[in-house]
Amino acid sequence: MNVRYRVDLSQAERDALSVLVSGGKLPVRRLKRMQILLAADAGVNDEAIAAAVQTSGSTIYRTKKRFVEISLEAALSEEPRPGAARKLSGKEEVQLVALACSDPPQGCARWTLKLLANALVEVIEHPSVSCETVRRRLDDNDLKPWRKKMWCIANIDGEYIARMEDLLDLYAEPHDPKRPVVCFDESPIQLIGEVRVPIVAKPGKRYRYDSEYKRNGTANLFVMVDANRSWRKVKVTDRRANQDFAICMRDLVDIDYPDADKVRVVMDNLSTHTASAIYQTFPAAEARRILRRLEFHYTPKHASWLNMVEIEIGVIRRQCLDKRIDSRAKLETEVRAWERRRTASGARINWMFSTDQARVKMAKSYPAPSLKES
């Protein structure tokens, strides 16, 4: 059967195929077809070609046939394959998508391929549906119902816009030592101790530690960062109550910025972040003295991304806290060392988002004014 298809390459074709085969940087199937044509052109029989190229006799036959009847490129290209018909019709696929987007059965936290296959059989005529069929149809529709993502949905109203633009304008102001801008927030941390002594790293072996650990309680980090220069401060406390917040504010104006006329503090809407927390902690005269030198600017609800200190908290967690720290004393030592090193490096946050950009990028979210100029 194969004798009728004789491969006779021109010298140019033979040279071109030889160069491509020697290069080796081609899809495997195309490379094998080139090898088949070169071997057949050299007079090698099909059995020897199949053994040398590690392919089937039918592949050799089809390659030679397409070369003789069509062209060299047709012989090297992938022949269209009809494949099996889809098991699910368009209507049944829509039913599968609807199931995947619905709540899972009672007692199940999420849909799985097997659950979806079993549920689909109950609403279509097929006696069974494989998990692989379900997976492929879900993949076609970019659906993974077993995966979830948490996010905060902000209500972008007039108050949101007002607070956002207030902060963006604040960040855009030139640095004024008499009126510094300090971003403030808290971050909890769990104190974790080792049950067994870790094994130190050696050439060829990584640092190893036991999966078992012990909890030694929690601590809180008050993190402050200057919006316009390389300055940050991290204070370790046992909690984040009104008194702790008030002491931070007092230290901010008396120790950190003693020469400033007004310290403008950016923070979120936590219940402790209020002037009343300072009055609850200090005598009225002292509280009033502290508050006269403070100016609070609050982020919109569900908009912590507008607080620069969130960036700094991410940095300290990656650079300093991404390991087991078993005591508050050790935590304070680590934090102090990180704080000194990062400040000495001159690192500061380069805020790029402005009010003008917000009005362009978030134009559709801005509330429509109720009155128009006549």
User: For the domain bounded by 161-359, which CATH number is listed?
Assistant: 3.30.420.10
What's the CA gap between 86 and 96, in Å, rounded? 14
What's the CA gap between 14 and 174, in Å, rounded? 71
Give me the residue label for tokens 């071109």.
16
pLDDT digits (tens), the chain, 374 positions: 445 788 888 898 888 888 888 876 788 888 888 889 998 888 888 889 899 888 888 888 888 888 888 888 888 887 666 667 778 888 889 999 999 999 999 999 999 999 999 999 988 888 888 999 999 999 988 998 888 877 766 778 889 999 999 999 999 999 999 999 999 999 999 999 988 888 888 898 888 888 888 999 999 999 999 999 999 999 999 999 999 999 999 999 999 999 999 999 999 999 999 999 999 999 999 999 999 999 999 999 888 899 999 999 999 999 999 999 999 999 999 999 999 999 999 999 999 999 999 999 888 888 877 766 55
Burial of 11 (0-12, 13-18, 19+ CB in 10 A): exposed
Nearest to 41 by CA among 23, 68, 59, 22: 68
Give me the residue label for tokens 């085969």.
21
Beta bridge partners, 183, equal: 225, 266
Nearest to 226 by CA among 182, 258, 179, 268: 182
Are 145 and 115 within 8 A, CB to CB?
no
Three-state SS annotation for the chain: CHHHCCCCCCHHHHHHHHHHHHHCCCCHHHHHHHHHHHHHHCCCCHHHHHHHHCCCHHHHHHHHHHHHHCCHHHHHCCCCCCCCCCCCCHHHHHHHHHHHCCCCCCCCCCCCHHHHHHHHHCCCCCCCCCHHHHHHHHHHCCCCCCCCCCCCCCCCCHHHHHHHHHHHHHHHCCCCCCCCEEEEEEEEEEEEEECCCCECCECCECCECCCCEEEEEEEEEEEEEECCCCCEEEEEECCCCHHHHHHHHHHHHHHHCCCCCCEEEEECCCCCCCHHHHHHHCCHHHHHHHHHCEEEEECCCCCHHHCCHHHHHHHHHHHCCCCCCCCHHHHHHHHHHHHHHHHHCCCCCCCCCCHHHHHHHCHHHCCCCCCCCC
Sign of CA dihedral 317, 318, 321, 323: positive
Beta bridge partners, 208, equal: 199
Beta bridge partners, 265, equal: 182, 296
In the prediction, which pLDDT does 154 show? 73
In the prediction, which pLDDT does 81 show? 66
Which residues lie closer than 8 Å to 101 by C-beta, 6 or more apart?
A: 143, 145
Rounded to two decimals, what is the model's pTM?
0.65
Task: Enumerate the domain spans of the chain.
Answer: 2-76, 90-140, 161-359
